[in-house]
């Protein structure tokens, strides 16, 4: 009995200390300057025409202009004691701790609406202890300076309703009406979305949305806001959406918005909370026309289970015009365009061949294409294969190797140049990493992210300059004061003439002159082309990629599965069709004179036999290939197989 009494006294003392501490912090918070939260619902994103794009709006709904149905539904499902606590629901916190300890899980949360608002006022959702302390301090300040109605107003104007931020925007998006006009049925459905937007959006998962709505209506009955009869009527009411489940207007654009916010968090001149700026105006490079083209062209990806990432970019400046990190943001928010690293396959080869051209190769340089086992020290061997196991069984030109994406030629080139040559050129075009200098690097047996590849390819598309892919051009506070202004000077890193020769070589991937024992890798999409492009595709067991460009536009696409399921041959054709549709639609009305490159003064075009690389003879098949003046082929060009080592020292990391 004495032990129980002692524990009881300790608990009482602990509670008294807690109350005194809380009161002291609360009084101190009250003495601090009042935080401005109206308009600090965060950020307004503008496209490259200066127009706010879908997902953001400057609308702020006052408390009196928000339906009481929505307010009551939100309180019931999020924080039923909202009007009785002072920012922290102590009993709910202890209850959640008890349940989590008992169940050995983290399933129970105890955040109040005020705490959620505090969290929403930060630019990101860092989970460090220092962040939690800052959020707690803001919670005290909000509670000490604002009425409950004002806090709730701030919360409802900042919360995420499935990619739509703020209750006014959500009301208009889902139901085409003002937030003050929401019915009980509509309000209870909207109030359920923030807990898990991808699961409870009525446009994406109506069945789960109805389950969530029923739970909220029942909680409203339990908390005395409505009667059981009103709950039943609301549940059975047929709601009419302003958008339907087939509407794709926001299925991809939110990936661009996430990429913007990801970049924003890296800018040192931007404060960490919206409270320091009263909100932000973020001017982005989004080209809504390019975004619409990207989204509509995704219909080419007929396999509805496969995932997608794609980027459209201005290669001269590095401006990212549009982006998608998946097929449907509401089903998966993982942004594959900026976060996923995948094997890049043969799309690495243009950088290998740039290095080769820089080191004395020409479009006519030959290696023998045949089944080959490469032998190395220590008894190690490497036996790469060509796609479809097709070989010339004789010498082929560099031009033919690019057209067919010949793997044997690529590995021989890699070994001939030396193991550091490819990794050195990758670093020069901005791809940083510890590359294993094994023979398989020449075939893209390395994981890279899409944005790194876009940056690297831009150096080819802009005739030799390193540019940095970027989303944000300028950031201001709500008063127009500039907090950030993009400023970057492109750096010349590649030889313009060599880049021109390589870009012309990359047109062989769809050139009918190369139809022979094999066919060019992108010949199937040639009938759709009205412009000249440099293209390189890549296929691994789990990935399909394509990068292609002219001086006006660079487009990169990837398809595959998050769980590395094997891809189908048809998936490769689908992504190529998607790519050409994007290029053709975006460049409609432009001529090759506007979009292709001028021939440098020291470069000459010569009719060449595509396979042998020799000067073409009368009546023979020919293709104009380009050379530095003085390196044009003679009639008897030696194969580099005569000089390449058959055994080479290879060390593994």
What residues act catalytically? 78, 346
CB atoms near residue 164 (< 10 Å): 25
- CA-to-CA separations, 628 to 88, 349, 496, 608, 634, in angstroms, rounded: 73, 21, 11, 14, 14
Q: How many CB atoms lie within 10 A of CB 388?
A: 10
Phi, psi of 215 (to 5 degrees): -60, -40
Radius of gyration of the chain (CA): 31
522, 545 in Cβ contact below 8 A?
A: no
DSSP state of 245: T
How would DSSP label each residue in 341-372?
EEE-GGGGHHHHHHHHHHTT--TT-EEEES--
- Distances in Å between the Cα of 652 and the Cα atoms of 33, 343, 420, 439, 440 are 61, 19, 13, 11, 12
Other CB atoms within 10 Å distance of the CB of residue 561: 15
Angle, CA of 170, 173 and 178, to the nearest 5°: 65
How far is residue 531's CA from residue 623's CA, in Å, rounded to a whole number?
A: 18
Strands (E), 393-540: 394-397, 447-449, 465-466, 472-477, 482-485, 491-492, 534-539
DSSP 302: -
Do residues 374 and 383 touch, judged by C-beta distance below 8 A?
yes
Name every residue whose Cβ is closer than 8 Å to that of residue 16 and which is 6 or more positions away in sequence.
Answer: none
SS3 581: helix
How far, in Å, are 337, 456, 505, 506, 523 from residue 547 at the CA level? 13, 11, 14, 11, 15
| Polymer length of the chain | 653
């Amino acid at each position: 009995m004495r032990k129980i009494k002692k524990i009881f006294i300790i608990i009482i003392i602990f509670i008294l200390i807690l109350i005194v501490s809380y009161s002291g912090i609360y009084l101190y918070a009250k003495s601090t300057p009042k935080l401005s939260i109206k308009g600090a619902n965060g950020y307004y994103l503008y496209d490259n025409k200066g127009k706010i794009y879908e997902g953001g709006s400057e609308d702020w709904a006052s408390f009196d202009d928000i339906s009481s149905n929505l307010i009551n539904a939100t309180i019931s499902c999020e924080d039923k004691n909202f009007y009785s606590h002072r920012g922290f629901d102590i009993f709910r916190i202890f209850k959640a701790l008890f349940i989590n300890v008992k169940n050995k899980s983290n399933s129970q949360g105890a955040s109040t609406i005020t705490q959620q608002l505090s969290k929403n006022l930060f630019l990101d959702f860092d989970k460090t202890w220092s962040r939690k302390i800052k959020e707690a301090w803001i919670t005290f300040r909000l509670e000490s300076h604002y009425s409950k109605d004002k806090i709730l107003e701030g919360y409802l104007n900042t919360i995420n309703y499935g990619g739509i931020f703020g209750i006014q925007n959500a009301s208009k998006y889902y139901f085409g009406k003002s937030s003050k006009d929401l019915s009980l049925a509509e309000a209870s459905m909207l109030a359920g979305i923030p807990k898990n937007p991808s699961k409870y959006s009525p446009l994406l998962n109506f069945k789960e949305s109805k389950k969530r709505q029923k739970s909220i209506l029942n909680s409203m009955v339990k908390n005395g806001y409505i009667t059981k009869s009103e709950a039943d009527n609301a549940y059975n009411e047929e709601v009419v959406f302003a958008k339907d489940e087939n509407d794709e207007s926001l299925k991809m654009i939110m990936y661009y918005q996430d990429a913007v916010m990801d970049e924003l968090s890296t800018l040192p001149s931007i404060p960490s909370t919206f409270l320091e700026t009263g909100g932000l105006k973020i001017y982005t490079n989004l080209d809504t026309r390019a975004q619409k083209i990207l989204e509509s062209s995704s219909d080419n990806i007929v396999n509805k289970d496969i995932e997608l990432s794609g980027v459209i970019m201005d290669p001269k400046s590095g401006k990212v015009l549009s982006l998608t990190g998946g097929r449907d943001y509401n089903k998966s928010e993982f942004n594959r365009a900026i976060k996923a690293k995948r094997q890049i396959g043969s799309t690495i080869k243009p950088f290998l061949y740039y290095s080769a051209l820089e080191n004395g190769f020409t479009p006519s340089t030959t290696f023998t294409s045949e089944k080959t086992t490469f032998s190395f020290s220590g008894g190690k061997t490497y036996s790469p294969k060509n796609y479809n196991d097709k070989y010339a069984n004789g010498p082929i030109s560099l031009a033919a190797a690019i057209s067919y994406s010949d793997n044997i030629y690529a590995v021989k080139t890699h070994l001939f140049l030396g193991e550091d040559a490819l990794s050195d050129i990758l670093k020069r075009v901005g791809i940083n990493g510890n590359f294993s200098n094994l023979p398989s690097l020449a075939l893209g047996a390395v994981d890279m992210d899409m944005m790194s590849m876009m940056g690297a390819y831009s150096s080819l598309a802009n005739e030799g300059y390193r540019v940095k892919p970027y989303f944000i051009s300028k950031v201001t506070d709500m008063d127009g004061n500039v907090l950030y202004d993009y400023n970057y000077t492109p750096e010349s890193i590649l030889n313009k003439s060599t880049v021109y020769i390589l870009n012309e070589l990359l047109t062989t991937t769809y050139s009918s002159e190369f139809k022979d024992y094999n066919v060019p890798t992108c010949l199937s999409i040639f009938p759709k082309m009205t412009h000249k492009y440099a293209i390189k595709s890549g296929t691994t067991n789990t990935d399909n990629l394509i990068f292609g460009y002219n001086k006006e536009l660079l487009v990169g696409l990837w398809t595959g599965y998050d769980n590395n399921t094997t891809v189908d041959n048809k998936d490769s054709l689908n992504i190529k069709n998607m790519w050409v549709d994007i290029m053709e639609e975006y460049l409609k009305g432009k001529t090759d004179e506007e979009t292709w490159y001028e021939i440098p003064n020291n470069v000459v075009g010569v009719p060449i036999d595509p396979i042998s690389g020799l000067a073409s003879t009368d009546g023979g098949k020919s293709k104009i290939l380009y050379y530095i003046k003085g390196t044009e082929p003679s009639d008897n060009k030696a194969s580099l197989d005569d000089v390449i080592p058959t055994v080479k020292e290879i060390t593994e990391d």
